[in-house]
Amino acid sequence: MQKKELLYEGKAKKVYKTEDPEVYIVSYKDDATAFNGLKKGTIVGKGVVNNQMSNFMFRLLEKQGIPTHYVEELDERETAVKRVDIVPLEVIVRNKAAGSLSKRLGLAEGTQMKTTVLEFSYKNDDLGDPMVNDYHILAMGLATREEIDQIASMSLKINDLMIEFFRSVNVDLIDFKLEFGKTSDGAIILADEISPDTCRFWDVNTGEKLDKDRFRRDMGGVEEAYAEMMKRLGL
Ligand code: UDP
């Protein structure tokens, strides 16, 4: 598998074409941003962690019946993935209150939600990824009713599987963000990444944050936290 033309460079990844029109190569960078790009920095080794952890999670989810874009890990930073059209939604899954939900609803961070909360944001950097509901999604044609329902039920199943897995390595899964894509035959599959950039992970015993909040909030020990998550996954 050879990298060809650079298709897209985002905040944390580059995407290349390959000789196979149905396969792209993702290359994970160490660049870190927060607050819609306002805060910029580098987390040394992050690209390696996010690549290897995402692939580990995608393989685990595939075994449990969740279709993903994962094809093959090529090296420590690069992975072959299926070409998809990204559904322009960020799906946020929340088990405990944190971050923007805590602020918006006045809930202390760590408050257990009685049921899982699903939120959608419209992927649009210029607008700062505004939150949208089903009506907005349908009215803007971002996804169909059937696609929304499928994305919601896949997200809840992924949450169940991830809660159970992370619990087994002493990590409390607070919340996370997913993105889905549509294959050429119209199937909805899980895409993007699952990493400390896109999830909140708290140590079950100490409550220590093992994710990107350490960077967002200038807490220090960022690289160490990413390395600790790799260790817990046996990577
Ligand atoms: N998240 C993400 N990308 C975004 C926004 C959020 O990966 O553009 C993840 C974030 O890491 C957290 C969850 O989604 O695990 C919920 O984030 P929240 O809405 O609380 O936003 P934040 O407080 O990070 O701005």
pLDDT band at 65 (very low <50, low <70, confident <90, very high): very high
198 CB near ligand 1 (under 6 Å): yes
Atom 5 in ligand 1: residue holding the nearest Cα: 177
Give tens-digit pLDDT for 72-114. Answer: 999 999 999 999 999 999 999 999 999 999 999 999 999 999 9
Pocket test for ligand 1, best of 121, 158, 198, 212 (most atoms within 8 A of CB): 198
Return the pLDDT at 1.
Answer: 87
How far is the C-alpha of 32 from the C-alpha of 25, rounded, in Å? 20
pTM: 0.97
Can you read off the two tokens belonging to residue 1?
A: 């598998």
Mean per-residue pLDDT, 14-31: 98
Going 235 to 8 to 211 to 180, the CA torsion angle's sign is negative
199 CB near ligand 1 (under 6 Å): yes
Mean per-residue pLDDT, 215-224: 98
| Amino acid identity, position 51 | N
Atom 13 in ligand 1: residue holding the nearest Cα: 176
Give tens-digit pLDDT for 175-218. Answer: 999 999 999 999 999 999 999 999 999 999 999 999 999 999 99
Return the pLDDT at 198.
Answer: 98
CB 144 within 8 A of CB 152: no
Give me Rg for the CA atoms of the chain.
17
Return the pLDDT at 221.
Answer: 98
Return the pLDDT at 206.
Answer: 98
Share of the chain above pLDDT 90, in %: 99
46 CB near ligand 1 (under 6 Å): no
33 CB near ligand 1 (under 6 Å): no
What the chain holds in terms of domains, given with CATH numbers, is 6-82 (3.30.200.20), 85-224 (3.30.470.20)
Q: Please choose, from the candidates 139, 128, 123, 36, the residue with its C-alpha nearest in 3D space to the C-alpha of residue 88.
A: 123
Q: Mean pLDDT, the chain, as a whole number?
A: 98
Assign 3-class secondary structure to the chain: CCCCCEEEECCCEEEEECCCCCEEEEEECCEEEECCCCEEEECCCHHHHHHHHHHHHHHHHHHCCCCECEEEECCCCEEEEECCEECCEEEEEEEECCHHHHHHHCCCCCCEEEEEEEEEEECCHHHCCCEECHHHHHHHCCCCHHHHHHHHHHHHHHHHHHHHHHHHCCEEEEEEEEEEEECCCCCEEEECCCCCCCEEEEECCCCCECCCHHHHCCCCCHHHHHHHHHHHCCC
96 CB near ligand 1 (under 6 Å): no
Q: State in Å: Cα 42 to ligand 1 middle.
A: 18
CB 68 within 8 A of CB 102: no
CB 185 within 8 A of CB 223: no
Residue with tokens 């290897």: 52
99 CB near ligand 1 (under 6 Å): yes
